[in-house]
Amino acid sequence: MGLTSRALECVTVVAALGCLGLTMWVWPRLARRGPMAVLGRFGTIVTTQLTILTACAVMVNAHFDFYGTWGELIGRVPTAPVQLAQADGERGMYGTRSHLVEAAGPQGLDRVTGLPAGPPTRVGRVESVRISGRRTGAVVPAFVYLPPQYFQHQYHRQRFPVIVAISGYPGGIVNLAQHLQVPQTAARLERSGKFQPTVIVMVRPTIAPPRDTECVDVPGGPKAETFFTKDLPMALKATYRVGHDPSAWGALGYSSGGSCALQLALRNPGVYTAAAALSADYKVTDDLTTGSLFGSGAQARRRQEEHDLVWRLRHLPVPRVSVLVASSRHGEQDYGPTLRFLKAVKPPMTSARIILDSGSHNFTTWRREIGAATEWMGRQLTFPQDTTAAPKPHRTAQAASPGSRPVLGH
């Protein structure tokens, strides 16, 4: 029974309701005086409260994807990828295989509605994977959307552009697929000819949950920026047919995920050349969820300034990237900072905006914006960019170690 499965949610809710009913039934019998009656009342209260809290915790975790597996919950997280090569006819024929991206359980993908249903050559496919960081040691859950063209023979030597879609904090990858509807939107726009075939990788902004790492390399702590700028591109390029040039790479996100997208593009234009941010912040600051992100000493202030995007645009060389930002005149606290950020943009950087008359910091607003943001992103990335080597004959998969999962290869 998976940690994020509906079955576990149902079991914990039924257990909580059962304990509540049992407490109501036995309470009159525990109304007597004496130590046993007092202990009985105390025990029923504690048991009922624990079952209710457990049910709430399970439902919140399933919604926000804090922990995807029981192993993550108890701290048994793998620090190195399994050495395994595996191929099947459809996956391995036109691509490469990598131990850095491994097949995972549903991770909530089974709860998402509206995903492509049918042959991959017609509707594409969404895969549930875990991505291992060679430099950082982080193991991050992800969904990967592959467009129909990825599986079509006429495209079998083409490398596709990539959008790294980043959720808000404390949300998880399920929010990108279910509530923001990233893969559904991409598929709809592709069918209408408004969006070029693109691989979309859906990830969360933290690499060390429950800490909010804000895509920052923390001195003496998690190296989130390194994961997004080195580990993630390396893993994807080794596993999927995706572009190797920065002009094929962009980042998109909402809330803190949008902040990450902007940070990644402005700080690493040699990796990401486009960013779309919905309801983002334009500087990174410490709070209760982040802890100390910039360390201490003389360099701490400088590090924090360099993660203030308006400060960067005013004091450092402006990168050649394209950005889109979205906000609302009424209902969003970032409207003023958004205007200041746009005012600070100067060549060779270019910008676009989505400004709604009203809209709050929620998925109702972001779903209004995601179509236009996705379409804009598709126009920024190059495709076809380059070609792969001629496909090699299909080979039999190597033997896997006992208990290991098959590795995705394309």
Residue 32: which pLDDT band, with cuts at 50, 70 and 90?
Answer: confident
What is the rounded average pLDDT of the residues 206-231?
94
Give me the pLDDT at residue 345, please: 97
Contact between residue 315 and residue 309 where contact means Cβ atoms under 8 Å apart:
no
| Distance from C-alpha of 182 to C-alpha of 174, rounded to nearest angstrom | 10
Out of 6-10, 105-109, 210-214, pick the least confident: 6-10
Q: Which residues fall within 8 angstroms of residue 349, CB to CB, at 6 or more apart?
A: 313, 318, 319, 320, 321, 322, 323
> What letter represents residue 176's amino acid?
L
User: Which of 241, 262, 357 lies closest to 313, judged by CA?
Assistant: 262
pTM above 0.85, yes or no: no
Contact between residue 177 and residue 112 where contact means Cβ atoms under 8 Å apart:
yes
Proportion of the chain above pLDDT 70, given as a percent: 83
Alpha carbon 372 to chain centroid, angstroms: 20
Question: How do residues 121-142 score in pLDDT, each as one tens digit?
Answer: 999 999 999 999 999 999 999 9
Who has greater pLDDT, 310 or 384?
A: 310
Statement: residue 220 has pLDDT above 70: yes
Q: Which residues fall within 8 angstroms of residue 172, CB to CB, at 6 or more apart?
A: 64, 65, 66, 68, 108, 141, 204
Question: How do residues 68-112 score in pLDDT, each as one tens digit?
Answer: 566 556 655 444 433 333 333 334 333 345 689 999 989 999 989
Q: Which residues fall within 8 angstroms of residue 9, CB to CB, at 6 or more apart?
A: 55, 58, 59, 62
Residue 406: which pLDDT band, with cuts at 50, 70 and 90?
Answer: very low
